[in-house]
Chain A
Amino acid sequence: MIHELTIGYLDIEAISLRLALASRPLEENVVAQILTEFPGLKVEHRSGYLIVPWHGREDADRGEAFAARLQARTGCLVADRRNGRIIDLAHEKGMARTA
């Protein structure tokens, strides 16, 4: 019903089981730098990964944009953990247009 994006160097097998496990933490300096571009965005810091709002939550567009920026800089994965899916953000934009 509502969705969040989990961002990090995630274990794909774990995501398929709806679990978030990071093989290593995200680069803090990069996260901090990109966060300055998204003032006020609600970001949850977990063990080596981040959670931001997505579909069905306030600030979903900025949450997705933040995830895309971080992925572009670090090559990390973005997932809809609750639904066991790795998210291709470029594909998502196409889906939104054809919905």
Chain B
Amino acid sequence: MAEGPPSDLADHAEDFSRRYAWEMDYLCGSRMIELGIPVGQIGSRVPGQGHATFMPQERSGGGNDPAGGLTVDSGVFNPELLGTLPGSQAWAEAPLRDRIDAIIAHEFEEARRGGNHIGALLHAPDTELPIHQRARQILQAMRPKERRS
């Protein structure tokens, strides 16, 4: 009998991501191009995977390397990614396309600030990237309270 999916949501997200890694890599790369991410920042060098925009083995939602390369990962499929922190409900209820946009915008703003996560939380909701409105709402919900408008 075939095994069901893992019961843990992060495990499930990674399992799904590994099976659809190629499609997700294509989707995330295409979306970064559409959003106007500079070519040199689209994806990152990944050992054993070459150059990739999607990293199925990681669980953080997304990342940016020291050279500014942006990636999305299996955390995009995890509705509990943000735990109980601000924005968690907006994240959990958002469809995949808006989560991808939110991740790309957050990582783009973090990379341009040298990896400053707090700076990204504050500035990503106002990003000039043409992300979906619902993605912007996720980022607004994640913004620290004292800077929400």
Contact = CB atoms under 8 A, between A and B. Distances in A.
B60 A1 contact: yes
Contacts of A69: none
B81 A2 contact: yes
B136 interface: no
B50 interface: no
A interface secondary structure, majority: loop
A95 B115 CA distance: 10
A18 B47 contact: yes
B83 interface: yes
Contacts of B47: 17-19
B31 to A, nearest CB: 15
Given A57-B83, A80-B115, A1 B122 contact: no
B96 interface: no
A55 B117 CA distance: 7
Contacts of A32: none
B118 A18 contact: no
A83 B65 contact: yes
A56 B119 CA distance: 12
Interface size class on chain B is 20 to 34
A48 to B, nearest CB: 19
A37 to B, nearest CB: 23
Contacts of A82: 58, 60, 63
A95 B116 CA distance: 7
B94 interface: no
A56 B142 CA distance: 9
Given A18-B46, A19-B47, A3 B117 contact: yes
A83 B81 contact: no
Interface of A: 1-4, 16-19, 55-58, 80, 82-85, 95-96, 99
8 contacts: A1-B75, A1-B103, A16-B66, A17-B47, A18-B46, A18-B47, A18-B65, A99-B119
Interface of B: 45-47, 58, 60-66, 75, 81-85, 103, 106-107, 113-119, 121-122
